[in-house]
Amino acid sequence: MDDVYRTQLGTRLRELRERVGLSVDQAAEKIGIHRTTWYHYQSGRTIPDFLMAVRICRALDCELGELVPDAFLAPEERRRRRR
- Cβ atoms of residues 10 and 42 within 8 Å: yes
Specify the 3-state DSSP secondary structure of 73: coil
Residue type at position 40:
H
5 compared with 31, residue with greater pLDDT: 31
| pLDDT one-digit tens code per residue, 17-71 | 999 999 999 999 999 999 999 999 999 999 999 999 999 999 999 998 888 776 6
Closest CA to 47 of 38, 34, 36, 59: 38
* Owning domain of residue 35: 2-82
Give this prediction's pTM: 0.81
* Number of domains into which the chain is organized: 1
Residue 10 burial by CB count (10 A; 0-12/13-18/19+): exposed, middle or buried? buried
CATH of the domain at 8: 1.10.260.40
